[in-house]
Structure 1
Amino acid sequence: AKSSEEKPMIHSLVLLKNTTEFHAQEQKEHERLRAEVDEATLANKAKTEFLSRMSHDIRTPINGVMGMLEIIKKNREDHERVDDCLEKIHVSSEHLLSLINDVLDMSKLESGHMEPEHVPFDLDDLMKNVRALNEAQVAKTSIVYTYSKISFAHAKLIGSPLHLRQILLNLFSNAAKYNKENGTIETYAEEIACDENTATFRFTIRDTGIGMSEDFVNNELFEPFTQEKQGARTQYQGTGLGMSIVKELIEKMNGTITVESVLGEGSAFTVTLPFEIDKHPSAQAAANGAADETALHGLKVLLAEDNELNMEIAEFFLEDMGAETMQAWNGKEAVEVFRNSAPGEIGVILMDIMMPVMDGLEAVQRIRALDRPDAKTVPIIAMTANAFSEDVERSRKAGMTEHLSKPLNAETLKKAILRNI
Structure 2
Amino acid sequence: MKAYDLSGMSVLVVDPNTFMRDILRELLDGLGVGQILGVKSIADATNRLAEYESIDLVLTELDLDTRDGVDLIRAIREHREQRIRMLPVLVITADTRMPRIVASRDAGATEFLAKPVSAEAIYKRLVQLIERPRPFVRVDDEYFGPDRRRQMREFMGGERRGGLPEAQPRA
User: TM (normalized to structure 1)?
Assistant: 0.30
After the TM superposition, which residues 104-253 of structure 1 pair with which residues of structure 2 at under 5 Å, given as runs? none
- What SS does structure 1 have at the residue aligned with 2:67? coil
The CA deviation string for residues 53-86 of structure 1, in whole angstroms up to 9 with x for no partner, is: xxxxxxxxxxxxxxxxxxxxxxxxxxxxxxxxxx
- Superposed structure 1 runs of 4+ greater than 6 Å apart: none
Q: Distance in 2 between matches of 1:292 and 1:378?
A: 22
Q: Which has the larger radius of gyration?
A: 1
1:391 to 100, 106, 114: 100
2:67 to 358, 372, 375: 358
Structure 2 counterpart of 1:416: 125
Structure 2 counterpart of 1:188: none
The CA deviation string for residues 191-248 of structure 1, in whole angstroms up to 9 with x for no partner, is: xxxxxxxxxxxxxxxxxxxxxxxxxxxxxxxxxxxxxxxxxxxxxxxxxxxxxxxxxx
Q: Distance in 1 between matches of 2:55 and 2:15?
A: 16
Q: Is the 8 A contact 1:348 1:379 kept in 2?
A: yes
Q: Which amino acid aligns with 1:335?
A: T
Q: Is the 8 A contact 1:368 1:399 kept in 2?
A: yes
Q: Is the 8 A contact 1:381 1:403 kept in 2?
A: yes
The Cα shift of 1:359 comes to 2.1
1:315 to 22, 25, 32: 25
| 1:304 and 2:48 correspond | no
Q: Distance in 1 between matches of 2:45 and 2:77?
A: 12
Q: Distance in 2 between matches of 1:391 and 1:358?
A: 14
The Cα shift of 1:351 comes to 0.6
- What SS does structure 1 have at the residue aligned with 2:85? coil
Q: Distance in 2 between matches of 1:300 and 1:321?
A: 12
Structure 2 counterpart of 1:328: 39
1:372 to 60, 74, 81: 81
2:51 to 337, 340, 345: 340
Q: Distance in 2 between matches of 1:374 and 1:349?
A: 12
The Cα shift of 1:375 comes to 2.4
The CA deviation string for residues 142-172 of structure 1, in whole angstroms up to 9 with x for no partner, is: xxxxxxxxxxxxxxxxxxxxxxxxxxxxxxx
Q: Is the 8 A contact 1:332 1:358 kept in 2?
A: no
- What SS does structure 2 have at the residue aligned with 1:371? coil
Q: Distance in 1 between matches of 2:80 and 2:2?
A: 32
Q: Identity of paired residues, percent?
A: 24
Highest RCO, 1 vs 2 (Cα 8 Å, sep ≥ 6): 2
Q: 1:291 to 1:395 in 2, by over 3 A?
A: farther
Q: Distance in 1 between matches of 2:38 and 2:112?
A: 19
| 1:349 and 2:58 correspond | yes
The Cα shift of 1:390 comes to 2.2
Q: Distance in 2 between matches of 1:351 and 1:371?
A: 20
- What SS does structure 1 have at the residue aligned with 2:59? strand
Q: Distance in 2 between matches of 1:341 and 1:408?
A: 26
5+ residue gaps, structure 1: 1-289
The Cα shift of 1:389 comes to 2.5
Q: Is the 8 A contact 1:361 1:395 kept in 2?
A: yes
Q: Distance in 2 between matches of 1:313 and 1:327?
A: 11
Q: Distance in 2 between matches of 1:384 and 1:400?
A: 12
Tell me the C-alpha RMSD between the 2 structures: 1.3
Q: Is the 8 A contact 1:332 1:357 kept in 2?
A: no
User: TM (normalized to structure 2)?
Assistant: 0.71
Count of residues paired in the alignment:
129
